[in-house]
Amino acid sequence: MKKSAASSSNASMRREITKFNIPPEPVRDWSFWIVSGHRLRVAAYLVSGIILLYWLQSLIWPRGLTPHTLFEEIWAWGSLLWISATIPGACGLIGLFKFRHDEDIDHVKPIKTLVSFRIVSRGTNIEALTSTIRRCQSEMAKTPLFPYLVEVVTDTKGITLSKPNNNLRYIVVPKEYQTPNKSLYKARALHYALEHSTLPNDAWIVHLDEETQPTSSGIKGICAMIQEEEKAGTLRIGQGAILYHRDWKKHPFLTLADNVRTGDDFA
């Protein structure tokens, strides 16, 4: 009976994963010494981007022309605006080239500390929220490095989601609730969760937006960080890189547009 129930649960999860189009786990890049697929792609994007920008510049600010009017003079001096991106661009480029997958993270040992994936949602985007919940559950099933709990904090009652269980709880914020400083939106919801969650005092919280989905490498990083922080006694706040629009084939332009945000995380 137990085996049958487990098989039924796994089949149900697979159906929901297909239904809500959960992106696949990113594939780790190849590397040889300091050369990796990631770094070669960064170099290719950089060269292509420079060529494109110079082409656009030649269209907007043609060379060899002498400005005659005040507007043309101002427009010509506007070409210096390109310089303003030099410093942040250089820092981002260094960060992108320095990034490499941590090989030691694959050997991280399990811990007994409870970790809560706390998701704040208005409850209006059911598809994205359900996809994130299922992603947390499926990734933790593949990488069970610590006991976990998914906490969904929302101010919307009656939303159609998975039923609560040992690993899934819902915290509904009452409409009349106010924080001491009259905070709004996400800050208000998180403050209510801090006051009413049943987590033990030694638990760690991973804050997620409703569309932010963890990966196996991220779970390993969380586990490694907790071990390091508790050993050192510093208990700092951690933040990892975010990969936007990982569904490359479906949203190629959005993926390219958001690459700069991931570059900032690495930098």
Cα→Cα distances 263→81, 92, 178, 206, Å: 21, 6, 37, 22
Q: How long is the chain?
A: 267
| 121 touches 154 (CB < 8 A) | yes
Q: How far is the C-alpha of 82 from the C-alpha of 72, rounded, in Å?
A: 17
| 39 touches 157 (CB < 8 A) | no
Indicate if 141 and 228 belong to the same structural domain.
yes
162 CA to centre of own chain = 23
- Does a structural domain hold residue 258? no
- pLDDT at position 193: 92
- Does a structural domain hold residue 9? no
Q: How far is the C-alpha of 240 from the C-alpha of 193, rounded, in Å?
A: 23
Indicate if 232 and 124 belong to the same structural domain.
yes
- pLDDT at position 161: 65
Q: State the pTM of this model.
A: 0.68
- pLDDT at position 3: 39
Indicate if 137 and 226 belong to the same structural domain.
yes
- Does a structural domain hold residue 174? yes
Indicate if 82 and 154 belong to the same structural domain.
no
- Does a structural domain hold residue 247? no
Indicate if 223 and 197 belong to the same structural domain.
yes
Domain edge (last residue) among 70, 98, 126: 98
- Does a structural domain hold residue 13? no
Q: How far is the C-alpha of 260 from the C-alpha of 262, rounded, in Å?
A: 5
Indicate if 53 and 134 belong to the same structural domain.
no
Indicate if 152 and 177 belong to the same structural domain.
yes
| 134 touches 168 (CB < 8 A) | no
| Domain count of the fold of the chain | 2
For residue 35, the surrounding DSSP H or E stretch is strand 35-36
- pLDDT at position 213: 85
- pLDDT at position 25: 57
- Does a structural domain hold residue 16? no
- Does a structural domain hold residue 187? yes
Indicate if 83 and 199 belong to the same structural domain.
no
Q: How far is the C-alpha of 259 from the C-alpha of 204, rounded, in Å?
A: 29
pLDDT values of the chain reduced to their tens digit, one per residue, 267 residues: 333 444 454 455 455 444 445 555 556 777 787 788 878 887 888 888 889 988 988 888 777 777 788 888 888 788 788 788 888 778 877 877 777 667 778 889 999 999 999 999 887 788 888 889 989 999 999 999 999 999 999 887 656 566 767 789 989 999 899 999 998 888 999 999 999 999 998 999 999 988 888 888 889 999 999 999 999 988 888 887 777 766 666 777 777 677 777 777 776
Indicate if 115 and 221 belong to the same structural domain.
yes
- pLDDT at position 250: 76
- Does a structural domain hold residue 250? no
- pLDDT at position 116: 96
Indicate if 50 and 157 belong to the same structural domain.
no
Q: How far is the C-alpha of 258 from the C-alpha of 60, rounded, in Å?
A: 25
- pLDDT at position 115: 96
Indicate if 78 and 162 belong to the same structural domain.
no
Q: How far apart are the first and last CA of the chain?
A: 52
- What is the domain range of residue 55? 31-98
Indicate if 43 and 163 belong to the same structural domain.
no
